[in-house]
Structure 1
Amino acid sequence: MPDAVLTDRDIAAIDIGSNSVRLVLYRLEGRAIWTVYNEKVLAGLGRDLPTTRKLSSEGVVMAMTALRRFAAVLEGVRPDTTLIAATAAVREALDGPEFCERVAAETGLNIRVLSGEEEAKYAAMGVLAGAPLAHGVSADMGGASLELTRLNGDGVEHGLTLPLGPFALADGKGFDADRIKARIDQALKPVAAQFRSDRLYAVGGAWRTLAQVQMALKSYPLRVVHQYQMSAEDALETARLVAQQSVASLAKLPGVSKKRAETLPYAGLVLEGLIKHLGLKQIEMSAWGVREGLLFETLDEATRTADPLLAGCTALGGRQGVAPALP
């Protein structure tokens, strides 16, 4: 863990997920967290897990190419701290350890494989990093899993992981909405009571894409997904729409890539199940998740409790030579 007395520093975070591999460079000025650089590759490491229990061979090639590039970027940038984490695909794959060893040998990057509970915790901490007063349930959808964590307004409570990511639901039998809904119901019913809430904080690329689709349908004037809010009714309308579309039709929608179009119908059905079982009334998007949660944990407690908006304004003012105490 980095020295807590360092308040202004550069942090790099690499997130090796079931669907994407991403590098983000951050600049920290106390509690103010600035994204400096953000690069993502949709490798689909977890695409073959349901059938082979191994990482996708094509995905491994794409991930290794991305990670070699990321290592070169880090060599040039030389951040103060580098955080590297892998989630469900690498955690569950039989060849996950072999993949981590290969990455270390070829790039020098040492991967921390998060447990399901850790993944849930860090996703929720990422929500709090961006919205300190968040109260409800964090839902982080990756390619292979869904992590649920209750946020009580003071911090993060116990979370859990469920096999409800798009790759886990795609069982090779084709997209059958009724069959997939039954699987979602079966997974959510036993845990619904402990996660019932009015508000869901949605973390993950699939949720963000759903929000972008709804923004386009509603002609929403801003294209800022972070903290975008949908009523349960509007979310259901969008979720059901994408679940009924073909991949080709979805790929024509604004902000939807072909690879994302393949997983979006599953994400829509999971959101519909969450609304049904948790009694949700409002869904709020969070662009921050596991990466920011890992970063947030490196801050000392006093820094964590500062208001991020005020901290950001103070940092910007400081760059202009404005004294923080100026009334």
Structure 2
Amino acid sequence: MSLQENAPTWAAIDIGSNTLQLVIARCQADDLDILIDAEDVVRLGQDVNAHGEITPAKRGEVVDILKRYRSQVSEHHAEAVFVVATEAVRKASNAPEFLDAVERAIGAKVQVVAGEIEALLTFFGASYEYLREQHTSPALAVMDLGGGSTELVTATGEQVNWLTSLPIGSGWLHDRYTRSDPPTEEERELSSIFLKTYLKGVRIKGKPKTLIATGGSAKTLMSLARASLGLDAQASCLSYMDVVRCDGILEALCADEITQRYGISEKRAGLLPSGVQIIKMLMLRLQMCELWISTHGIREGLLLAYARYGERWLEVLETQVQSLGRKRTRVSVGAEMLTETFMDTGRRLLSEGANRMSEWRDEVLKNEDIEAVHKMRVASRRLRAILDSYEGICDPKLFKKVYRLTKEMADMLGKARDTDVMILNLNATLEEVVSEQKAGIAWLLERLHVYRVEHQATLERYLNAFDERKFQHLIDTCIPKGGRHNGKG
């Protein structure tokens, strides 16, 4: 489809948790002729996750990039500039100061959009080319995997059936779970537990036949697949096994090696393992064998929304979101179906997780099987993953207490487990080294054994003083009945 010659030229900027993105295009209600598509990785979400605010250094970096964008907007004589900000700015405690600096730099007002509005805009942008080529109204899902959130929409053709904004993204998962380069086996296992738990609690309406993904991680995954799997340079569809193979590459290679081998920026390469894990888990959750990658997203959706609805675009989208309403989750129990809310699911999983952790307490105190420490530690870290899944609907004060106690338990068990592993490895090494090295290894083993005995005593005092009943009560009341709901499902 060719655009009319008099189609207006507009610009849209997306201030996301990982990136700043600019698109300049000639625009109509159902098509875009893109003139400029620029992206810069800034990782605002990293600051917000660590400090709760955007640091002056990051703010300065954003301002410098926006000044460059403003020059590009002027060069292309864009008649209007639209700017939206998403999860990182939504969460930042100093958002007003940040927005003031941004608006002065770009010369346009910034609209901080809610997650549901972000989801709708993403749907418009990511699906318009795909839908234009279809002769039917396909059942599809669109996901926008960002740094701090993931927007998910299901639709039949252009008719949206359901949407949600999930407060997890590639940057968030990286900072919370997969900080190593490449992520360790334990980090990958825990992040997998978290994602399975979280996505299990999200009731997704409908059975989409097609999944379209957009966002920096999705586009970078496509680049990695083309470079590493020998796919056609124009390919835009990946099989589930393609995603699994790429995940295996990311498991084996550090970010620097990914950059050198496949030409992916190091900043993107560092976040890609967490992004691919989210994509893979969502494909499993939706039972998808294929994934379509779109290079378009919220900024293109913003231009299309303005072309369709004019100055009232935000009001129209808010009305659409309200009309979708809230849904409930259904879980199967034996032969009957019971209705269980997201909050009920959270209470049940937290209680089960706390019980699994407590089951190993007596075995650890016996100090007869070192695997008991490992199993209790894994249970404590799984409980942390469940807590992460339901933080948004927990009582904030109770959540902090429970999370602190759970982390404290995991750290205490971790010191014991790490020492046990070191002793096992050194014992294995002792059999292989030359005689000159045996004395040094034996000395180190002796010191580790002494430390392990001392730490076992510390661990036993800690476990004996740990009030399981009080902890279970905190767990059981962490999600208040009739309390807050974060809008999932």
Task: Give the TM-score category using the shorter length.
Answer: 0.7 to 0.9
Give the whole-Å Cα distance in 1 for the aligned partners of 2:75 and 2:280: 44
Give the aligned partner of residue 299 of structure 2. Answer: 291
Give the aligned partner of residue 171 of structure 1. Answer: 175
Q: Which piece of structure 1 moves more, 186-195 or 81-90?
A: 186-195
- Asked if 1:116 corresponds to 2:119, the answer is no
Change (3 A) 1:135 1:69: same
Name stretches of at least 5 consecutive residues in structure 2 with no aligned partner: 310-489
- Which deviations, in whole Å up to 9, do the C-alpha atoms of 1:34-66 show, x marking residues without a partner? 111222221111112222121254332211101
Give the whole-Å Cα distance in 1 for the aligned partners of 2:163 and 2:204: 13
SS at match of 2:10: strand
Change (3 A) 1:6 1:213: closer
Change (3 A) 1:53 1:243: farther
Give the aligned partner of residue 154 of structure 1. Answer: 158
- Asked if 1:273 corresponds to 2:281, the answer is yes
- Aligned partner (choices 186, 200, 211) of residue 211 of structure 2: 200
More helix by share: 2
- Asked if 1:184 corresponds to 2:204, the answer is no
Larger CA Rg, structure 1 vs 2: 2
Q: For residue 166 of structure 1, report the CA deviation from its aligned partner.
A: 1.8
Q: For residue 22 of structure 1, report the CA deviation from its aligned partner.
A: 1.8
1:226-305 matches, within 5 Å, as 228-300=236-308
Q: For residue 244 of structure 1, report the CA deviation from its aligned partner.
A: 3.9
More strand by share: 1
Give the whole-Å Cα distance in 2 for the aligned partners of 1:106 and 1:25: 18
SS at match of 2:36: strand
- In percent, how many aligned pairs have the same letter? 25
**Segments ≥4 residues shifted beyond 6 Å:** none
- Amino acid of the residue matched to residue 199 of structure 2? L
- Asked if 1:217 corresponds to 2:228, the answer is yes
Give the whole-Å Cα distance in 1 for the aligned partners of 2:244 and 2:163: 24
Give the aligned partner of residue 97 of structure 1. Answer: 96
Check the 8 A contact 1:196/1:279 in 2, yes or no.
no
Change (3 A) 1:144 1:195: farther
Scaled by the length of structure 2, what TM-score is found?
0.56
Q: For residue 135 of structure 1, report the CA deviation from its aligned partner.
A: 3.2
Q: For residue 284 of structure 1, report the CA deviation from its aligned partner.
A: 0.3
Scaled by the length of structure 1, what TM-score is found?
0.82
- Asked if 1:128 corresponds to 2:127, the answer is yes
Aligned residues: 294
Q: For residue 252 of structure 1, report the CA deviation from its aligned partner.
A: 2.1
Give the whole-Å Cα distance in 2 for the aligned partners of 1:240 and 1:139: 22
Q: For residue 30 of structure 1, report the CA deviation from its aligned partner.
A: 7.0
Give the whole-Å Cα distance in 1 for the aligned partners of 2:75 and 2:167: 38
Provide the alpha-carbon RMSD of the alignment. Answer: 2.3
Check the 8 A contact 2:228/2:262 in 1, yes or no.
no
Give the aligned partner of residue 87 of structure 1. Answer: 86
Give the whole-Å Cα distance in 1 for the aligned partners of 2:86 and 2:48: 13
Give the whole-Å Cα distance in 1 for the aligned partners of 2:29 and 2:175: 46
- Asked if 1:41 corresponds to 2:40, the answer is yes
- Amino acid of the residue matched to residue 121 of structure 2? Y
SS at match of 1:143: coil
Q: For residue 229 of structure 1, report the CA deviation from its aligned partner.
A: 0.8
Name stretches of at least 5 consecutive residues in structure 1 with no aligned partner: 302-327
Change (3 A) 1:271 1:192: farther
Check the 8 A contact 2:162/2:205 in 1, yes or no.
no
